[in-house]
Amino acid sequence: MTQKREKLVLIGNGMAGVGTIEQILKLGGNYEITVFGSEPHPNYNRIMLSYVLEGSKTVEDIILNDLNWYKDNGITLHTGTTVTRIDEASRQIITADGMSVPYDKVIIATGSNSFILPIPGSTKEGVVGFRDIADCDAMLAAAKQYKQAAVIGGGLLGLEAAKGLVNLGMDVTVVHLMEDLMERQLDHNASSMLQAELERQGVKFAMGKQTVELTGEERVSGLRFSDGTELAADFVVMAVGIKPNVAVAAASGITVNRGIVVNDYLQTSMHNVFSVGECTEHRGACYGLVAPLFEQGMVLAKHLCGADTKPYEGSVVSTKLKISGVDVFSAGEFIESAEHTVISAKDDWKKTYKKILLKNNIIVGAVLFGDVTESANLQKLVKQGTEMTDEIYAELMGTGCCGSGGAKKTMAVETMADEEIVCGCNGVTKKAIVDAVTENGFTTVDEIKACTGATRSCGGCKPVVEQILQFVLGDSFQQSAKQGICTCTPLSRDEIVAEITAKGLKTTKEVMNVLGWKQEEGCSKCRPAINYYLGMIAPDTHEDEKESRFVNERMGANIQKDGTYTVIPRMYGGVTTPEDLKKIADVSLKYDVKVVKVTGGQRLDLIGVKKEDLPKVWEELDMPSGYGYAKSLRTVKTCVGSQFCRFGTQDSMGMGALMERKYERLDFPAKFKMAVNGCPRNCAESCTKDIGIVGNDGGWEIFIGGNGGIKPRIADSFCKVKTDEELIEVCSAVMQYYRETGNYLERTSEWVERMGLETIGAAILDDEVNRKALAARIDFALAQVSDPWKKLLKDDPTRKALFEEARV
C-alpha cells in the first residue's frame, strides 16, 4: 500500500525557501509540496536585480526556477497570493483571497521588506525601495522620464542602485547619514577608496546628511536635510535597510522578536512550523545576506527528510561588492581596537588594500579592496577561528617563496567542508562542484557553471571554483580559456570546423599546426574535440586517433578509483538472454569480478576487472560493448510495452532494440541516452533522456533535451509521428543536427537551450528536404563503422527496406 505523503507548504517563493525545497528534492523527501508567493513571478535571484538595473541582464536571465520546474517536480505554485495566517487548530493555511490549504508541515520564508524612513513625504510618487522586480521596473521606467535621482543609504543595496541608475543616464547622488560608506562592512580606508572609485564612475555623494523630509506636491521634487540644506531630485530610492517580514507569523501567534524566533533546527514556537531566511531570528541574529540563508536551508531540509545533520549554530557573515570593476570584501571583525593585532597593506597606485585582524593571534576578521582573490580563503580562516602562522601570513600577504601560492590555496580548498557554500548567489556547495567533476568528467569553469550554476551570477566565486578544480584534477587541471575551446587556441568550435572544412585538414596534428596552436601537442580538452570534429566532417576518410581519446575510451571500460575497470556489455533495449547471462556469470567468476551491478540503463556492470584482463574478458564475453565510457549512444531504456503490458500500445522493446542497434558505435559530442515507452505511463523515463519516445494509440511522441544528472532538465516535446518510418527519420535528423552543431562535451540539454527549440524545429520539422538530408548523412556516417545493424537487416526485410529508403 502506497504511503500517504505529508503536505508541506512553503510560504514565500524567494531564494531561501525555494532553495530549501531544492535540497529536500535532492534528498528524496516524500512531500506533497505547495508554494505561495506574493509576487507574480517564479523563483528568481534577488541578488542580481542590480545587474538587471544596469542593463547587463534581463529579468528572464535571473529566473532560477521557471514555471516548468514547479510543474515537473509536482509542486503546486500560487503566485500573486499572500498568506495571512496559519490556523494551528484546523491545520490550514489561510490566504488574503480566502483560500485555505491543509498542511502537515510549514516553512515560512517571507524574507524582508525595504525599510522606508517614516518622514514627511515618504509616500509621494517617485519614492521606491529596492527589493524586488517591481522596484526594479519602477527605476527603469523613471530613468526614461526623469534625470535627477537620490539614493538614501550608502550601504550595499544603495550603492548598487546608484550605479545602476548612473548607467541608465541619471544624475545620481547617494545620501548617507554616516561619514563612511558601508560602515557596517568596511573600515575608513576601504570606504574612502570605494567612494573615490565610485565618484570616478559618476556617482555623487552627500555624506553625513540626515534626511528629514521629501519635498514636492504629489511627486517628490527634492530632499531636505537636518542642517537646513536641500537636494533636488525627482526620483528617490530608499535603501536604508530592511526589516524581517514577520506578518504571517505574528498573525498566527508564533513567537516574534525582531524576526521569527527559531531554534537550532529552524523550528518556530508553533508545532511543525519552521522558518528560514531573512524573516528568521536565530540566537538573536537576523541575516540579510544569502550564504546564511542557504546554510539554514540545508539544515532544515535534512531535518525534514530525516537525514543526519548538525544543528544550525549561526553563520560568519561576509560581504562582497562588485560594481563595474569595484571589488570589495569583508568578513568578521573589521574595525580595529586596542585588543587587535593589525596586519595591513595599502597600494595607492594599484588601488588595493588588505587588512587582517587578529585577536590573541586568532584570525577574527578581514577587509579587502581592489584585489579579492583571497576572499574565500580569508572567509574560511575567520569562520574556523584559525591561528595565524608564518606560513598563513606568507600566503595571505604574498611574501612566500615563488611558486608556493598555488599549492597553499589548494590545501585551503582541501580543508573546506563539503557543505560549505562556494557560490552565495546560487547556493552551490563545494560538494556539488566536486561531484560535477568526478561524476561528469568536467574540467573547466564553464562546464561547472552550466552544470551547477556556480559563477553564473556575479562571478565572484570563480577563483574558488578554479581552486576546487585544481584540487580535484591535480596536474591535469587547466584554467578555461577566455577565448576559444581551450587555452591552446583563440578559435571557437565553429571557427575550427569551418577551417577544417575549407582547408581539407585530415588529422589532429595537422589542425594544430595549420591553425597555430599555442601548445604543439594540444591538451586533454582540445585533442578529443578535434578528433570528433574531423570524424563528424569526414566519416568516410577520417582515421580515428585513439591517442586523442580519453583513457576510458581507449581501454573500452571505465577506470575506477582503485585502478580497476568496469566492463558493461551491450544489452539492446535492456533485453538479454539466458545464454548471455551465463557467459557474464562465467566470465565474472573466472576473472574474480567483485561486484555485478544492474545499471540505470538496464544492463549489467562488471566492476573490478584488472587492466591486464580487459582483452580476455571482452573476448570471452563475445558481446558488443555497452559504451558506458564513450561520447556516443550509451543505452536505450525500454518498458515491456505491448508485447507484455496490458497498458502498452506500442512495441517499445522492439523499437528500443531497433534504435540501439541502428545508432550504436557512432560518436556524438557527448554521451547520449534514449528511452522508448509503450504508453504514456512513461515507465522507461523518457522525460530525462536526450531523446525520449512515448507510444500512444496514434503512433509516437518524441521528446528531446532531457537530462537526469546534477542539473536535471525535463525533455521538451518535439513532435508526434504516426509511423515507425517517420520516427526513425526524425530521430536520425535530430541526432545528426546535434552532431553537426553541438559543442564537444555539450549535452543535448544544454544544446537545446542554446540553440532554441524553435530553431531545431525549423531545421528538422519545417524543412522536409533538410530533414531527409540530415538522416541520410547520419546513415552515411553509420555505414563507415562496424555494423551489427546489417545483420538485423538480413532478418527483417521490412526494416531493411525502411533503412534503404532513408539512405536514398
Strand order across the beta sheet in which 230-232 lies = 211-216, 220-225, 230-232
Sequence length of the chain is 808
Q: Which residue has the cell 574531423?
A: 534
Q: In sequence order, what are the residues at sequence separation of 6 or more whose Cβ sits closer than 8 angstroms to the Cβ of residue 644?
A: none
Residue in 153, 118, 380 with CA at minimum distance from that of residue 288: 153
Q: In sequence order, what are the residues at sequence separation of 6 or more whose Cβ sits closer than 8 angstroms to the Cβ of residue 338?
A: none
> Is 488 labelled as part of a ligand binding site?
no
Secondary structure, 3-state, 661-674: HHHCCCECCCCEEE
Start-end of H helices in 260-404: 290-304, 375-384, 390-397
Secondary structure, 3-state, 777-804: HHHHHHCCCCCCHHHHHHHCHHHHHHHH
* Measured distance CA(249)–CA(259) in Å, rounded: 9
> CB of 176 within 8 A of CB of 162?
no
> Is 645 labelled as part of a ligand binding site?
yes
> CB of 334 within 8 A of CB of 366?
yes
> CB of 107 within 8 A of CB of 8?
yes
Q: Angle 445-452/462-473 helices, nearest 10 degrees?
A: 110
User: How many Cβ atoms sit within 10 Å of the Cβ of residue 313?
Assistant: 10
Distances from the Cα of 279 to the Cα of 14, 266, 282, 496, angstroms: 11, 12, 10, 52
> Is 639 labelled as part of a ligand binding site?
yes
> CB of 254 within 8 A of CB of 266?
no
Distances from the Cα of 106 to the Cα of 28, 78, 290, angstroms: 18, 15, 21
> CB of 547 within 8 A of CB of 507?
no
* Measured distance CA(699)–CA(642) in Å, rounded: 13
* Measured distance CA(210)–CA(175) in Å, rounded: 8
> CB of 164 within 8 A of CB of 53?
yes
Q: In sequence order, what are the residues at sequence separation of 6 or more whose Cβ sits closer than 8 angstroms to the Cβ of residue 403?
A: none
Biggest CA-to-CA distance, the chain: 96
| Bridge partners (DSSP) listed for residue 707 | 713
* Measured distance CA(625)–CA(633) in Å, rounded: 11
User: How many Cβ atoms sit within 10 Å of the Cβ of residue 440?
Assistant: 18
* Measured distance CA(105)–CA(299) in Å, rounded: 16
User: Helix, strand or coil for residue 456?
Assistant: coil
> Is 679 labelled as part of a ligand binding site?
yes
> CB of 616 within 8 A of CB of 540?
no
Q: 459: which 3 cell numbers?
A: 562571478
Binding residues for [4Fe-4S] cluster: 639, 645, 679, 683
Binding residues for siroheme: 683
Binding residues: 639, 645, 679, 683
